Amino acid sequence: MMKGAHFPATTAAFALLALATFHLVSASDPSSLQDFCVALKNTDAGNTSNAVGSKVTPANVEQIAGLNTLGISLARIDYAPNGGLNPPHTHPRASEFLVVMEGTLYVGFVTSNSDNGNKLFTKVLYPGDVFVFPVGLIHFQFNIGKVNAVAIAGLSSQNPGVITIANAVFGSKPPIKLDVLTKAFQVESNVVEYLQNQFWYDNN
């Protein structure tokens, strides 16, 4: 029969202190710095008469200070009929879920280089449908219907950020060196120059 282990009093006291400290740490409050702040924002229809045929109306911490520390934000996206596009973009600090309110959207995202080698996931969405775009991945929405479309996006950050791919690559100021882009896209320099000379509309 095994004999019970005996600990010196100092060891037992240390163990109790460590256990008490652990409970104090695990009982800490991991929530935000504030309880809440009531705030409202009007999200009227956006003007889609532009080069891409869409308008994003954000409701993040820049528009609503009450979102500070809450880790959430919203956006309304309006799409023109027959091809209104929210161009390929990423949110570096947030995942996004999209709820279609009106119209028909073709949506999708591309996985990272290492995850199935840039695999494209797409779906056609109708009113009431929901789609999720994982954080940081390139995604888009395209109105394939003959009427206006509207969607509401929820994002898991008070300040999700947005990087529109074409704008960032070809519309940077100052421009990215021609040698870099011709090698990256494996095209002639005149193609890159043409793209850099375009007006890259920001729908945000």
Q: How far apart are CA 176 and CA 121, in angstroms?
A: 30
Instruction: Sort strands 85-90 and 54-59 into parallel, antiparallel or unpaired.
Output: unpaired
Peptide bond into 174 cis (omega under 30): yes
The pLDDT, as a whole number, for residue 9 is: 59
Q: Which domains are delineated in the chain? A: 54-163 (2.60.120.10)
The pLDDT, as a whole number, for residue 28 is: 47
The pLDDT, as a whole number, for residue 152 is: 98
Q: How far apart are CA 167 and CA 2, in angstroms?
A: 73
Cα torsion for 8, 9, 10, 13, to the nearest 10°? 130
The pLDDT, as a whole number, for residue 60 is: 92
For every residue of 45-92, DSSP letters joined together read: PPP--SSSSEEEEEESTTT-GGGTTT--EEEEEEE-TTT-EEEEEE-T
Local structure of residue 136 (DSSP, 8 states) = T
Each residue's pLDDT, cut to its tens digit, for the chain (204 residues) gives: 555 555 555 655 555 555 555 554 444 445 555 565 555 556 678 999 999 999 999 999 999 998 999 999 999 999 999 999 999 999 999 999 999 999 999 999 999 998 678 999 999 999 999 999 999 999 999 999 999 999 999 999 999 999 999 999 999 999 999 999 999 999 999 999 999 999 999 999
